[in-house]
Amino acid sequence: MRRSPIVPVLLAAVFVLLDTASPAAAANPWRTTKTWTIAHQGGEDEFPSNTMYAFKQSLKAGADMLELDVGVTKDNQVIVMHDTTVDRITNGTGLVSTLTLKQIRKLDGAYWFSGGASAYKHDLKASAYRFRGIATGKRKPPKGFKRSDFGVTTLKDVIKAFPKTPINIEIKGRTKTEAIPEYVQNAEVLGALLKSTMRRDLIVVSFKDEAVARFHELVPALDTSPGLNGSAGFLLAGTAPPAGSVALQLPVTYRLNGTLIEVASADFIAKAHAAGLAWHSWFGDEDADAPATWNLLTDRCVDGIMTARPKALIKTLKAHPRPASCPTP
């Protein structure tokens, strides 16, 4: 969920922590005994965003869980891509919703990847884009990988490829307007795809509560995380989390009206745990996806950290594990 806008309703009263506690929930499989490394977009600063290559490499490095984003093509196929357009990541242009899966399959999913904190700049020398051309057959893939590992993949392919890996699936919209009906529409397509799955290690999330609620109506057997309003209602007003909720997924901090607000506070995390909910932290524009922040989150007993740098996080967690004082799930 990195670098996405946060609506003011989530955080306007974030300085006020109400004493109202929700009743403890039943055993939650997303509550962990260690801090999970969740590879955000497969680890988009270390590997090409949301590609099979990224997923394979992050898991090889030791990631515990994959995080990915889904959009819906013109022909109602669920693809794995963070943006509503293919422009930033691939060699193509246009909205995902205006392209067919066949058209998207022809694109180079690693075309603009160079690595690092600004991993998708479009003004570097061609030599900086070290995986460019593999997906389109202009270059050979690294040993042990296929051309398709560097293209745009589908959710169906990812679920099949990683049958025993927990996967976080975020529903995106169809345009940059962030209109709720777009999210709901995509939730319905995702629901149709997953309605018959027997897997229970998938969690579905979205910024829009309406999308999460619609998905839960269609596939109640799968776990969800509430959108922004649902998270705010629980943390700030003591309302019960929406049906199906098992985790809160929120940024570390957020700047509201010039004030930097701490969202991943020890009090909020403890409140979630007391209610039986897991806590997954992600990084906004002003959050450092780096060791100092990782150590802080680990010391506050978060269940998972959604990082663009899974290899680096795994190394840090080995040297700085979760304190024994953290509550037992």
Look at residue 10 in the predicted model and tell me its pLDDT: 46
Residue 13 identity: A
What's the 3-state SS for 40-98? ECCCCCCCCCCCHHHHHHHHHHCCCEEEEEEEECCCCCEEECCCCECCCCCCCCCEHHH
Backbone angles phi, psi at 306, to 5 degrees: -90, 105
Backbone angles phi, psi at 190, to 5 degrees: -65, -40
Pairwise CA distance, residues 236 & 140, whole Å: 53
Pairwise CA distance, residues 92 & 108, whole Å: 8
R_g of the chain computed on alpha carbons: 19
Look at residue 26 in the predicted model and tell me its pLDDT: 58
Residue 23 has pLDDT above 80, yes or no: no
Q: Quote the mean pLDDT of the chain.
A: 92
Least confident of 19-33, 107-121, 192-206: 19-33
Residue 314 CA to chain centroid, in angstroms? Answer: 17
3-state secondary structure of 251: strand
Residue 14 has pLDDT above 70, yes or no: no
Look at residue 1 in the predicted model and tell me its pLDDT: 64
CATH fold of the domain at 8-84+164-319: TIM Barrel (3.20.20)
**For residue range 233-290, what is the model confidence (pLDDT) as tens digits?**
999 999 999 999 999 999 999 887 898 989 999 999 999 999 999 999 999 989 999 9
Backbone angles phi, psi at 203, to 5 degrees: -130, 135
Task: Give the confidence band of 25 by pLDDT, cuts at 50, 70, 90.
Answer: very low
Angle between helices 228-237 and 209-218 (to 10 degrees): 100
User: 94, 73 in Cβ contact below 8 A?
Assistant: no
Domain boundaries, the chain: 8-84+164-319
